[in-house]
């Protein structure tokens, strides 16, 4: 697998980093074999595969279970587990214990935390303890009730300044990488230029050090997709065709 150190050297390389989510063993194996650099076991599992309406109901047990499935299937990619809503931030001890579970029990190589002023200390402490941390700024979906939806972030000078400031603080705290979600391209380019650690964008334009998308959006299996997602395949259609062919074969007696 690429080490965190190799990921950190990415800004000097000429090829962007690639990251995709995965939530189970068979799809993680496919993503890994395709040579994707990082696999995120995202809390987007809530809406992508668990049937919730958002990421908020996702539990530690669910992320740990799906991270285990992904980690067991992956040989090469760096496996990053997304810390779910309220699994950190209440007290530092709880955040450390939960991050520790994802590494010790589930087999993740790193954790991702939706970042804010309150996660600078936690990031530093986790890094001190040997847990690599990926920060996440811009649109942080766990704050949807505060933001009032999933609109683009960092669109005022004040909001952009806060993102720049928090990006620098999380780099100083030891984060090995930063996800920047749904912000203006120009802000993402500025943050990327200002930081030494790789910035991985989603809906943040072409100037970041890498890109991440949700796997079900990419393969055409999501019920609804963000405006910045791109569909590269039609797996829903493939499943529909296979299921219908099976049904017809059983009903007309041609199978078995």
Known binding site for Mg(2+): residues? 43, 82, 114
Cβ 29 to ligand KIV shortest distance, Å: 19
The count of residues interacting with ligand KIV (CB under 6 A) is 11
Let me know: does 20 contact 31? Beta carbons within 8 Å.
Answer: yes
How far apart are alpha carbons 249 and 252 in whole angstroms?
5
Q: Which residue from 43, 62, 209, 217 is in contact with ligand KIV, where contact means CB under 6 A?
A: 43
Cβ 96 to ligand KIV shortest distance, Å: 20
Cβ proximity to ligand KIV, 82 vs 190, nearer residue: 82
Q: Which residue from 16, 18, 21, 180 is in contact with ligand KIV, where contact means CB under 6 A?
A: 21
Report CA torsion sign: 171, 5, 11, 99.
negative
Which residue positions form the known binding site for 3-methyl-2-oxobutanoate?
Answer: 43-44, 82, 112
Is 181 known to be catalytic? Answer: yes
Token pair listed for 95: 């955040």
How far apart are alpha carbons 200 and 187 in whole angstroms?
13
Q: Does 202 bind ligand KIV (CB under 6 A)?
A: yes
Site for ligand MHF in 79-118 (CB under 6 A): none
> In sequence order, which residues have a C-beta less than 8 Å from that of residue 126 and are 6 or more positions away?
95, 96, 99, 111, 133
Q: DSSP strand E in the chain: where?
A: 17-21, 38-41, 78-82, 110-114, 133-138, 177-181, 199-202, 210-213
Token pair listed for 105: 């029990």
Q: Which residue from 96, 226, 231, 236 is in contact with ligand MHF, where contact means CB under 6 A?
A: 226
Q: Mask: binding to Mg ion, 35-64, rule CB under 5 A, as x and -?
A: -------xx---------------------
CB atoms within 10 A of CB 135: 28
Residue of 181, 190, 207, 238 marked active site? 181
Cβ 21 to ligand MHF shortest distance, Å: 8
Which residues of the shown chain bind Mg ion in the complex (CB under 5 A)? Answer: 42-43, 82
């Amino acid at each position: 697998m690429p080490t965190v150190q190799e990921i950190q050297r990415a800004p000097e390389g000429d090829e962007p980093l690639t990251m995709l989510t995965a939530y189970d063993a068979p799809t993680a194996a496919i993503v890994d074999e395709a040579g994707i650099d990082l696999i995120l076991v995202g809390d987007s599992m809530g809406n992508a595969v668990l049937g919730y309406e958002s990421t908020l109901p996702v539990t530690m047990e669910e992320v740990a279970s799906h991270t285990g499935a992904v980690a067991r299937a992956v040989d090469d990619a760096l496996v990053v587990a997304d810390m779910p809503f309220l699994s950190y931030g209440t007290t530092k001890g709880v955040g450390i214990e939960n991050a520790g579970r994802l590494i010790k029990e589930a087999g993740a190589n790193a954790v991702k935390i939706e970042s804010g002023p309150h996660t600078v200390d936690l990031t530093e402490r986790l890094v001190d303890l040997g847990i690599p941390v990926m920060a996440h700024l811009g649109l942080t979906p766990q704050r949807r009730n505060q933001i009032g939806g999933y609109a683009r972030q960092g669109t005022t000078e004040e909001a952009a300044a806060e993102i720049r400031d928090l990006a620098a603080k999380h780099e100083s705290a030891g984060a090995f990488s930063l996800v920047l979600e749904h912000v203006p391209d120009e802000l993402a380019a500025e943050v990327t230029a200002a930081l030494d650690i790789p910035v991985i964008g989603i809906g943040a334009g072409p100037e970041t050090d890498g890109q991440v998308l949700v796997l079900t959006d990419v393969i055409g299996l999501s019920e609804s997709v963000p405006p910045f997602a791109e569909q590269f395949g039609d797996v829903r259609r493939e499943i529909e065709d296979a299921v219908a062919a099976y049904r017809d074969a059983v009903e007309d007696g041609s199978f078995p």
